[in-house]
Amino acid sequence: MSLVQAGKTYNLGGRDFIELTDYSTEEIRYLIDLAIEIKRKQKNGEAYQPLLGKTVGLIFEKSSTRTRVSFEVGVYQLGGHALFLSKNDIQLGRGETIADTAGVMSRYLDGIMIRTFGHDRVVDLARFSTVPVINGLSDLAHPCQVLADYQTIYEHKGQLEGLKLAYIGDGNNMAHSLMIGGAKLGVSVSIASPEGYEPDSQIMADSRELAAATGATIEVVRDPREAVKDADVIYTDVWASMGFEEEQKAREAAFASYQVNEELAALAKPDYLFMHCLPAHRGEEVSEGVIDGSNSIIFDQAENRLHAQKALMAALIG
Ligand code: CP
Ligand code: NVA
């Protein structure tokens, strides 16, 4: 099973990974292929250590379970050493600039992953670093998650082009990266968000333009039933992302009719896949019956964070 012509490889050494817009359709397909191959190697116990002797810094300005653990384990499995750098422990948290942090860290490290608030912090870190920078989530984008997600869909469906993904809820970082990834890979993305919580209009326009090349359609609708109709994948995320906790109550009201539950899911194709980047709030954005039901592949997608990021680090830093 391969998304790329047999034998074709792409040299991505030294590149940053800030959003999927920076990568061509062929490069993204190559990364997914590589992730599937690296996953196979790991399951078969075959050593693959392109990061031997290399060190990757993991800067966290927000909480994390999956991203932290999958990056730390991934670097270890690739033969390298990972440094967990919480904002509470490094001078960045006391006001040292991104530029100075980037300059200094580039002298010690072979690659940097950052999870932060403003997307400009990721862009600036990459601009001032001389080693590859990977976006481990910003307020605007979560490309590592989406790389793993499209790998997971491909593994389950055996194809990407021509599928329909319905994203129900907040037009947030997840919605943005799913739209761009879908546009690049030929997956049509239908977003249903309440008024005032739609995805960023520039990202919307960019993804529509990208989708023209792959035949995908990218749309934002109001009615979740319209988005879910005949969908191959239903995706949702929390109503209040990290940094928006104080809006929780207002958001619960705004999103009340946007829960993914059995009634809504019945409008999708019978073999639809349910996906969620996690962490999830059962009983809010998704019912227990759907997230814990037989169409749910949440743990496959969580597992693939490990394989997708190993492929990314092998290609960029290895
Ligand atoms: N999906 C995801 O990025 O999870 P964490 O916030 O736990 O890293
Ligand atoms: N939209 C969520 C994703 C968490 C992985 C957030 O930013 O908090």
Q: Which atom of ligand 2 is nearest to the CA of 174?
A: 1
Report helix, strand or coil for 59: strand
The pLDDT assigned to 174 comes to 98
CB 129 within 8 A of CB 105: yes
Topology agreement, domain 20-141+305-316 and domain 143-301: yes
| Candidate list 115, 121, 276, 307, residue with the active-site label | 115
Model pLDDT, residue 10: 93
pLDDT attached to residue 2: 75
Separation of alpha carbons 278 and 66, rounded Å = 8
Which listed residue (124, 277, 307, 309) is catalytic? 277
**Rounded-to-integer distance, Cα 260 and Cα 279, Å:** 15
Number of Cβ within a 10 Å radius of residue 244: 15
Question: What are the φ and ψ backbone dihedral angles of 60, each rounded to 5 degrees?
Answer: -120, 115
Q: Which of 119, 237, 251, 307 is catalytic?
A: 237
**For position 256, what pLDDT does the model report?**
98
Closest CA to 84 of 106, 64, 54: 64
Structure tokens at 258: 């946007």
Q: What is the pLDDT of residue 7?
A: 73
Domain ranges of the chain: 20-141+305-316, 143-301
What is the secondary structure of 77-93 as a DSSP string? HTT-EEEEEETTTSGGG
For residue 186, the model assigns a pLDDT of 98
So what CATH class is 20-141+305-316? Answer: alpha beta
In the prediction, which pLDDT does 1 show?
59
What per-residue confidence (pLDDT) applies to 8? 84
Is there a contact between 276 and 291 (Cβ–Cβ < 8 Å)?
yes
Note the pLDDT of residue 115: 98
Bond into 279 cis (ω within 30): yes
Ligand 1 pocket residue status of 304, Cβ below 6 Å: no
Token pair in block for residue 14: 């030294």
68 is catalytic: no
| Closest protein CA for atom 3 of ligand 2 | 241
Give the tens place of pLDDT for each residue, 25-67: 999 999 999 999 999 999 999 999 999 999 999 999 999 999 9
pTM, two decimals, is: 0.98
The first and second tokens of residue 150, run together, are: 């499209």
Q: How far from each other are the two terminal CA atoms of the chain, in whole angstroms?
A: 24
Cα separations in angstroms, 97 against 17, 93, 112, 303: 21, 9, 16, 34
- CATH architecture type of domain 143-301: 3-Layer(aba) Sandwich (3.40)
Kindly give the parts of the chain with pLDDT less than 70: 1
